[in-house]
Amino acid sequence: MTVTPSQTVGPFYGYALPFPGGADLAPGHPGAITVHGYVYDGAGAPVPDALLEFWQAGPDGSRAGATGSMRRDPVTGAVAGRDGVAFTGFGRVATDPDGHYTLRTLPPGGTPYLGVCVFARGLLHHLYTRVYLESSPGDPVLSGLTAERAATLIATPERPGVLRFDVRLQYDGTHEETVFLAFE
């Protein structure tokens, strides 16, 4: 069948797609780590209207996910939020006016990376990338890249439990463009 083409998320998704708690996959969990960073364009300017989605294995290695990322209160209709027990594996966070995002999650079991899907105004088709939480020798994706390119996928530890991961949509003359992925 003819596939439905992609179109940009545009600038006005902000009241529809982000949801309270979208960036905190493990509310109240003492073992949660913080992954944060900026999204930049080809002029090196921060992108204040990007939307990042994260998908990852659970701490036990499960890829089945769980419902309840956007859990609602059926009486009031308000967002009740994740129940803090089930690990849904899904996160969604928009960049702020500085182009910055912050994600809190639990390290995945069995795989060293978080899957990322990037949307933005001016991006006609989303982009996939990965946040590797540590350098991972033998990883089939990293091992096919030069050291400079691979480095764009590996988060930088800033202090215990806090990692930095920037997304560069385009080479800006100084900084390497992030590696983006296609799947077959």
Q: Are 93 and 18 in contact (CB under 8 A)?
A: yes
Site for another protein in 108-127 (CB under 8 A): 108, 111, 113, 115, 117, 119-127
Task: Pick from 30, 147, 174, 183 the residue near another protein by CB under 8 A.
Answer: 183
Q: State the minimum distance, in angstroms, from the CB of residue 97 to another protein.
A: 11
> Taking the complex as a whole, how short is the minimal distance between the CB of residue 8 and another protein, in angstroms?
6
Q: CA-CA distance, 145 to 141, in Å (whole number)?
A: 7
Angle at 10 between CA 8 and CA 12, to 5 degrees: 150
Q: Where are the alpha helices (DSSP H) in 20-179?
A: 147-151
| Closer of 11 and 109 to Fe ion (Cβ) | 11
Using the contact rule CB under 8 A, the part of the chain among 26-34, 86-94, 99-107, 158-166 near another protein is 86-94
179: partner contacted, choices another protein, Fe ion, none (Cβ within 5-8 A by kind)? another protein
CA-based nearest residue to 120, from 155, 95, 103: 95
Q: What are phi and psi of 162, to 5 degrees?
A: -130, 125
Count interface residues toward another protein (CB under 8 A).
72
Residues 4-63 that bind Fe ion (CB under 5 A): 10
Q: How buried is residue 114: exposed, middle or buried, by Cβ count under 10 Å (0-12/13-18/19+)? A: buried
C-beta separation of 140 from 131 below 8 A? no
Find which of Fe ion, another protein, none residue 161 binds, CB within 5 to 8 Å per kind.
Answer: none
Stretch that binds another protein, among 6-14, 26-34, 98-106, 154-162 (CB under 8 A): 6-14
**Smallest Cα–Cα separation from 45: which of 175, 156, 180?**
175
One residue of 26, 57, 103, 155 binding another protein per CB under 8 A: 57
Sign of CA pseudo-dihedral 92, 69, 15, 3: positive
What minimum distance in Å lies between the beta carbon of 92 and another protein? 9
Q: Which amino acid makes up residue 27? A: P
The listed partner (another protein, Fe ion, none) that binds 42, CB under 5 to 8 Å by sort, is another protein
Which residues are near Fe ion by CB under 5 A? 10
